[in-house]
Amino acid sequence: MALALAGCGGGGESSSAGGDTSGTVRNAPAHSEQDVIDALQLTSDNGISYTDPNGCEVAVVLIGKNTVNLYSGAGDTVATNPAGDVGVKVVSNDPSCASKLAAGLKGL
């Protein structure tokens, strides 16, 4: 059996992607997971879940509106920043944790 791969290998041609070469990544999230961790002062003892200084437990740091919408649409308790582009999945039994965590994300 022969397998031909068009456009692979050889020739020694060089190509340039063209366009913006400034190093800016398009559609990159405005905030990182570390930004959220820092804003909420989250700590983790096990590398799986996080706890804030109030004792509120967070299972997942959410980056991007699609991810936030996925978790909230699935019925998870989610605290987000006002723009809704970062957040956390809240797993604490304390009902005030979601609002406390959302307040901590207001600056992002």
Digit-coded pLDDT (tens) for 23-37: 555 666 789 999 999
pLDDT at 49 over 90: yes
Answer yes or no: are the C-beta atoms of 103 and 87 closer than 8 Å.
no
Q: What is the pLDDT of residues 51-101, one digit of tens each?
A: 999 999 999 999 999 999 999 999 999 999 999 999 999 999 999 999 999
Please, which pLDDT band fits residue 102 given cuts at 50, 70 and 90?
A: very high
pLDDT tops 70 at residue 6: no
- Per-residue pLDDT, 27: 65
Of 65, 64, 55, the closest CA to residue 90 belongs to 55
